[in-house]
Amino acid sequence: MAAAFSPELLDRLTIRDLVESWAVWRDANDWKRFRTVWHDDGIMQATWTQGTADEFIAMSKAGFAKGVRILHFLGGNTIDLKGARAISQTKMTIAQRAKVEGVLCDVVCTGRFYDFFEKRSGRWGLVLRQPIYEKDRLDPVAPDETPKLDPHLLASFPEGYRHLAYLQSGLGYKVKTDMPGLVGPEVEALYRRGAGWLDGGSQW
């Protein structure tokens, strides 16, 4: 006899499945299925672009065509569930490879995906994804090459994604400089927004 799952457990499994599908389908350029993770009014926040899910897809396609390569890896997950709303936090890394000051480098940023989910007409979907950027590092692909970074430019970016922002700005992206980090007013404000979302607030 098949085991019976509670409605809450099924909701949690569904949300986790959406989180994992986001990463796999996005990195595989499977945009048709990637779009199903979102509700129609879903918003994606990233260092290099902020906007609707459709705008994020368009920007990602354009970047990939120009050689931009960004990959994601997921870790542990926790979900705060309250009725038809949820806040999901997932440990993650963002990895991007590109030339930095003429040297091919990898940047790996560690953080969390902080996701606002809602169940509408029986379907869970992503309403807002706000990454939290905790720390990052830059490594040359060839160990005998070292890029000469501009220290003033590097210091102008937040600590949690400083090297990622340096790389992305070098590719011509306008990087958002007030993203939440491990600590600080931005992440505290995000936590308050998440709590308000769970309590039924209309704004996230």
Q: What is the CATH number of the domain that holds 67?
A: 3.10.450.50
What is the pLDDT, as a whole number, of residue 2?
56
Predicted confidence (pLDDT) per residue in 113-129, tens digit: 999 999 999 999 999 99
Predicted confidence (pLDDT) per residue in 21-71, tens digit: 999 999 999 999 999 999 999 999 999 999 999 999 999 999 999 999 999
* Residue 1 belongs to some domain of the structure: no
Range(s) of the domain holding residue 42: 7-188
* Residue 195 belongs to some domain of the structure: no
What is the pLDDT, as a whole number, of residue 131?
98
Predicted confidence (pLDDT) per residue in 152-194, tens digit: 999 999 999 999 999 999 999 999 999 999 999 999 999 999 9
* Residue 202 belongs to some domain of the structure: no
How many domains are there within the chain?
1
* Residue 89 belongs to some domain of the structure: yes
* Residue 131 belongs to some domain of the structure: yes
Exposure b/e, 118-149, CB count within 10 A at least 16 = b? bbeeeebbbbbbbbbbbebebeeeeeeeebeb
What is the pLDDT, as a whole number, of residue 4?
76
Paired strand residues for 109: 94, 136
* Residue 14 belongs to some domain of the structure: yes
pTM, whole model, 2 decimals?
A: 0.94
- How many Cβ atoms from other residues are within 10 Å of residue 19's Cβ? 22
Distances (CA, A) of 196 to 8, 44, 48, 97, 181: 20, 19, 27, 37, 20
Closest CA to 63 of 45, 48, 80: 48
* Residue 175 belongs to some domain of the structure: yes
Predicted confidence (pLDDT) per residue in 24-37, tens digit: 999 999 999 999 99
Across the chain, mean pLDDT equals 95
Place 3 in a pLDDT band, splitting at 50, 70 and 90: low
Is residue 82 over pLDDT 90?
Answer: yes
Percent of the chain with pLDDT over 90: 95
Place 5 in a pLDDT band, splitting at 50, 70 and 90: confident
Average pLDDT over residues 129-145: 97
* Residue 194 belongs to some domain of the structure: no
